[in-house]
Amino acid sequence: MTRFYAQILYSALVYLGVASVAQAEPSQELLHQLNAQVLRVQVALANGSYGLGSGVVVAKDEIVTNCHVVANAASISVVSNGASFNVSAIKPDWRHDICILKAEGLDAPVARIGSSEALKYEQPVFTIGYPGFLPIPTSTFGVVKGLYPMDGSVVVRATSSFNMGASGGGVFDREGNLVGVITLKSPGHNSYYYNMPVEWVKAALKLPEQTVNAKSELPFWALAPEQWPYFMKIVHPYLTEDWNALLSIASEWATKEPNTTEAWFYLAAAEYAAKNYQKAEEHMYRVVAMNEQHSQAIYYLGLIAEESGKHNEAMMNVAALNKLDEVAAMQLKVAMGLTPATEK
């Protein structure tokens, strides 16, 4: 282990000893308050069918939702406390899938907008939305696992899952600040859940109003795969262990966006799979230097250390993960052949 990395890991252990205290779910009182800020969005489509989604009150008479929820709408309404309000206009940011709905006379509390850019990896967050046909909002809880720089902010990946109908709902931090908008998940069983940043919401509030049936455009994530951002391109090869494809995409990503932590992580993961351990370790060090709370990088460094015969170094990584991500810590222990009874 380099002295530089040892200092980083020691700092992370000290920090995490404080940060890991009381990772509790929000109180029922806070959830009750926030539930009133999250509304059901109902859409009558031009083809005669209907659609459902969720939205969050972000200003007086203004609700944010996803543009894909209201695309091709003939009419839109929102439901607050059992009452329905017609939407008279929208402010669409089609590219970023952020639409502001105007519903005059809406008597609902306004969400306190936080910052997506200020989020940290492993920070607890929770979602509120209306999945399916449920008459009441549903909450899911998780932690931040990815922050992907894009267009002046960061797209947020978190483990707080969501289902169809929750799109446009809110992602909140433990203090009840709105820090993201529920948007999409990747296909498959091990889905990645993506949330659009509140910085894009604040920008959309300043856009000019358009009619409800304004011509829609595709969001960035619905374009052809070759037009996707890198953080979407790497998901399938990483989850399916197509390491050659991952190496190619991640190499290009790291070249074009050298300040993006995730580019180096996925490059290192591909190098590790190819048994290029020296490069993998070098790049994982770089990831942790850029983000000391990157649990996946710490996990890989533990693997590399153990496989290199540096057991004490591997145990330091276990200790860091115990404070940061208990699931990853257990996975590393299993990979190292440790059990609670034999662990030293």
Res 22: pLDDT: 37
pLDDT of residue 164: 86
- Can you identify the CATH homologous superfamily of domain 124-197? Trypsin-like serine proteases (2.40.10.10)
Higher-confidence residue of 305 and 343: namely 305
Tens of pLDDT along 231-281? 999 999 999 999 999 999 999 999 999 999 999 999 999 999 999 999 999
For 183-227, write each residue's pLDDT tens digit. 999 988 889 999 999 999 999 999 999 999 999 999 999 999 999
Report percent pLDDT > 90 for the chain. Answer: 85
State pLDDT tens for residues 172-191.
Answer: 999 999 999 999 999 888 89
- For residue 24, the model assigns a pLDDT of 53
Average pLDDT over residues 10-30: 55
Q: What is the pLDDT of residue 188?
A: 80
CA–CA separation, 122 and 19 (whole Å): 10
CATH topology of domain 3-21+225-335: 1.25.40
Q: Stretch 127-156: mean pLDDT, rounded?
A: 94
DSSP letter string, 113-146: B--STT--TT-EEEEEE--TT-SS-EEEEEEEEE
Query: Which residue, among 296, 274, 273, has the nearest Cα to 284 in the 3D structure?
Result: 296
pLDDT of residue 340: 57
Higher-confidence residue: 19 or 293?
293
On the question of a common fold for 3-21+225-335 and 124-197, the answer reads: no
Residue boundaries of the structural domains of the chain: 3-21+225-335, 36-110+205-217, 124-197
CA–CA distances in Å: residue 259 to residues 9, 121, 147, 156: 20, 16, 12, 17
**DSSP per-residue letters across 31-80:** HHHHHTTEEEEEEEETTS-EEEEEEEEEETTEEEE-HHHHTTEEEEEEEE
Average pLDDT, the chain: 91
Going from the C-alpha of 121 to that of each of 81, 227, 233, 304, 324, the distances in angstroms are: 35, 27, 21, 22, 9
Residue 137 CB: number of other CB atoms within 10 A? 22
149-166 per-position pLDDT tens digit: 999 999 999 999 998 889
Fold of 36-110+205-217: Thrombin, subunit H (2.40.10)
Query: With 50 as the cut, is the pLDDT of residue 3 above it?
Result: no
At residue 336, the pLDDT reads 93
